[in-house]
Structure 1
Amino acid sequence: MRNISDLIEQYLKHMLQDSPEGAVEIQRNDLADRFSCVPSQINYVISTRFTLEKGYLVESKRGGGGYIRIQRVELPTLKMIQGHIAQTIGSEVDQTAAEGIIYQLEEAELISKREANLLRAAVSREAIALILPTRDEVRARLLKAMLITLLAK
Structure 2
Amino acid sequence: MHTKEKTYECNECGKSFRGKSDLSVNQRIHTGEKPYECSICGKTFSGKSHLSVHHRTHTGERPHECRRCGKAFGEKSTLIVHQRTHTGEKPYKCNEYGKAFTEKSPLITHQRIHTGERPYECSDCGKAFSKKSTLIKHHRIHTGGNPMSVANVGKFFM
Q: Shorter chain as normaliser: what TM range?
A: under 0.3
TM-score by length of 1: 0.21
* More relative contact order, 1 or 2 (CA 8 Å, 6+ apart): 1
